[in-house]
Amino acid sequence: MHCPFCGHEDTQVKDSRSTEDGVAIRRRRVCGACGQRFTTIERVQLRELVVTKMDGRRVPFDRDKLARSIRVALRKRPVDDDAQERIVNGLVRQLEASGDGEIASDRIGRLAMDALRRVDDVAYVRFASVYRDFREVAAFSQLLTDMKPGDEGLEGLPSRERTEK
């Protein structure tokens, strides 16, 4: 671990604790060169995941990309940062627990939509509009019509990846 102050590579762990949600480790460190103290948060990764895109490309799973998408969908909604982090952690745990090393991008999108639907309908519509690449008002109208209590919605609409050329 590099020191964020001087860049030195020799840092010592002085204290380690599990975070409240249990999916990360909080480490208090001190730099051997400059003596500065700093904290790192390290996430436990159960397995390496690879995302398979609709065009066949395979890319490493990026937790931060998923977290950004969830945060954008929930921007200015009454869902606090801790709840957003729990959503992302839950999604990552689902993916890691699936037993598959390769996950289709379409599956990640559906899982994220399902999670957002349970938390906030507006965030669900925001995420769906990007994920499904709505290009016309009629697609929004159809989504809202399909949104009935207990309905998972959107399954019949084309995903953005299928409509890309």
pLDDT value for 45: 62
Q: For residues 112 and 63, what is the distance between their CA atoms, to the nearest angstrom?
A: 12
pLDDT, tens digit, 9 for 90 and up, residues 87-106: 999 999 899 888 788 999 99
**What is this structure's pTM?**
0.64
Who wins on pLDDT, 63 or 44?
A: 63
Model confidence band, residue 71 (pLDDT cutoffs 50, 70, 90)? very high
Residue 155 has pLDDT above 60, yes or no: no
- Distance in angstroms (rounded) separating the CA atoms of residues 91 and 152: 17
pLDDT exceeds cutoff 80 at 3: yes
pLDDT surpassing 70 at residue 107: yes
User: What's the mean per-residue pLDDT of the chain?
Assistant: 83
What pLDDT score was predicted for residue 160? 40
